[in-house]
Amino acid sequence: MQALPDSDRSTAERYRAFAQVEARGLSPTYDALALGVAEDPEVIALIDELPVPKRQVNLVFSSCRLLSAPVTGYGTFRDWFVRHWPEVKQVALTHATQTNEPRRAAVLLPVLAALPGPLALIEVGASAGLCLYPDRYSYRYDDEPPIHPAPGPSPVVLSCATSGRVPLPTAVPTVVWRAGIDLNPLDVRRDDDVRWLSALTWPEHEERRQRLAAAVSIVREDPPRIERGDLTDLLPALAAEAPADATLVVFHTAVLLYLDQAARRRFVDTVRGLDAVWISNEGDDVTPGVAERLPRRSGTPSFVLARDGQPLAFTHPHGATIDWLP
């Protein structure tokens, strides 16, 4: 039986599925909290005061953590949540899920490094733009020697485990122009925005939090241009500004799942109409035209890295692994 789209599930079903599929094995804290919420009609009733898109687990839990909620046990969390619901609701209404994990650049690099340079980059759903700087980070694939930017080793080292015949890069590409699009851009120069990025990082993931802080320090030295607006509406004009002597790359990670099917198809039609390389890294059933080309695979759902709609690899949502397709 085909799984229901997330928007068609009840809130309890969404939280239960999050615990069992997304948090299981990755965050015992969120696993337990999400299961607790799923079985708690009073808490569900509060969350259902939010518009449907704002009921998503990451947004609600991150709103709580921004407000310093205790998350070590469901009973304590529940008491706090009920008391502080008006504040949680306000944060959820005024923020969005914008996880900006720089390690995702590690699964993009094998594709980027194979393109003729120099590169011009546009990231749609850019958040604070940390993934727009693949040329400023160092990389470590398996036990291979590290790959560094031209100026030398970076304070941010992105490690990635590989399987299959991954075309491992030998150098970091040259990027001569970069820009992003987001409905609600975050600014690395604003402490409130950086605190929100940290709150979006799951509780146990201290290594990710440290990596985020280090990447923010790099990007603050040369903040990106991020246009506010709809990714499809703004993309053609922004693409037209890219240098003509650079290879234009349009890329995105964990973005299209927030669009309905019609909006996804509209975006794909738009990006295919550009003189650009299109790199997608989304859930395995999200990008139109990609899922149909995938080999059958059982197990935990993963992301799929694709170039111009052609699947290349299964990837970890936060960039920790890349499994190249035959």
Residue spans of the domains in the chain: they are 6-94, 102-324
Beta carbons within 8 Å of 106's beta carbon, 6+ residues apart? 139, 141, 158, 159, 160, 319, 322
Give the three-state DSSP class for 223: coil
DSSP β-ladder status, 157-163 and 247-253: unpaired
324 within 8 A of 311, measured Cβ to Cβ:
no
| pLDDT score, position 3 | 36
Q: Where are the alpha helices (DSSP H) in 229-306?
A: 231-240, 261-272
Specify the residue for token string 């909620």: 69
For the chain, 326 residues long, give each residue's pLDDT as a single digit of tens: 223 344 557 999 999 999 998 888 889 999 999 999 999 999 999 999 999 999 999 999 999 999 999 998 999 999 999 999 999 999 999 999 888 999 999 999 999 999 998 999 999 999 999 999 999 999 999 999 999 999 999 999 999 999 999 999 999 999 999 999 999 999 999 999 999 999 999 999 999 999 999 999 999 999 999 999 999 999 999 999 999 999 999 999 999 988 999 999 999 999 999 999 999 999 988 999 898 888 766 556 689 999 999 999 999 988 999 999 99
pLDDT digits 0-9 by tens, 7-48: 557 999 999 999 998 888 889 999 999 999 999 999 999 999
Give the three-state DSSP class for 310: strand
Intra-chain end-to-end CA distance of the chain, in Å: 28
| pLDDT score, position 4 | 37
> What are the Cα distances from residue 240, in Å, to 121, 132, 217?
12, 18, 30
Number of Cβ within a 10 Å radius of residue 283: 16
| pLDDT score, position 257 | 87
Side chain identity, residue 149? P
| pLDDT score, position 285 | 87
134 within 8 A of 175, measured Cβ to Cβ:
yes
| pLDDT score, position 22 | 85
> What are the Cα distances from residue 274, in Å, to 12, 68, 75, 181, 267?
41, 44, 52, 16, 11
| CATH for the stretch 102-324 | 3.40.50
Number of Cβ within a 10 Å radius of residue 27: 20
Rounded to an integer, what distance in angstroms lies between the CA atom of residue 62 and that of residue 301?
Answer: 23
49 within 8 A of 11, measured Cβ to Cβ:
no
Task: Give bridge partners of residue 182 from the DSSP assignment.
Answer: 228
Which helix (DSSP H) or strand (DSSP E) does residue 189 occupy? none
DSSP class of 309? T
| pLDDT score, position 298 | 55
DSSP class of 116? P
| pLDDT score, position 43 | 97
